[in-house]
Amino acid sequence: MLERLAGTLDFQAQALALRSERQRLIASNIANADTPGYVAREMDFATALRQATSSSQSTVASGGNRLATGSATLLASTEAGHLAGTGSAGGAAPLTYAVAAQTNLDRNSVDMDRERASFADNTVKYEATLRFINGQVRTMLSAITGQ
Amino acid sequence: MGMMSIFNVSGSAASAQSQRLNVVASNLANADTVAGPDGQAYKARQVTFQTQLVGELANDATAAGVRVSTVSEDQTPGRRVHDPKNPAADAEGYVTYSNVNPVEEMVNMISASRSYQNNIEVMNTAKSLLLKTLQMGQSG
pLDDT, tens digit, 9 for 90 and up, residues A91-125: 456 788 888 788 888 889 999 999 999 999 999 99
Residue A141 contacts B where some CB pair is shorter than 8 Å: yes
The residue in chain B having the minimum alpha-carbon distance to the alpha carbon of residue A31 is B13
Backbone phi, then psi, for B3, in 5-degree steps?
-80, -15
Residue B9 contacts A where some CB pair is shorter than 8 Å: yes
Chain-wide mean pLDDT for chain B?
Answer: 89
CB A130 within 8 A of CB A112: no
Residues of A in contact with B62 (CB under 8 A): 21, 24-25, 28, 41, 43, 91, 93, 95
Residues of A in contact with B2 (CB under 8 A): 17, 20-21, 24
Cross-chain Cβ contact A31/B9 below 8 Å: yes
* Residue B96 CB neighbour total at 10 angstroms: 20
* Res A136 pLDDT > 70: yes
The residue in chain B having the minimum alpha-carbon distance to the alpha carbon of residue A35 is B49
CB B69 within 8 A of CB B46: no
Q: What is the pTM of this model?
A: 0.79
The residue in chain B having the minimum alpha-carbon distance to the alpha carbon of residue A124 is B129
Residues of B in contact with A23 (CB under 8 A): 3, 6, 126, 129
Between the ranges A64-78, A131-145, B8-22, B71-85, where is the mean pLDDT highest?
A: B8-22
Higher pLDDT, B74 or A5: B74
CB A130 within 8 A of CB A19: no
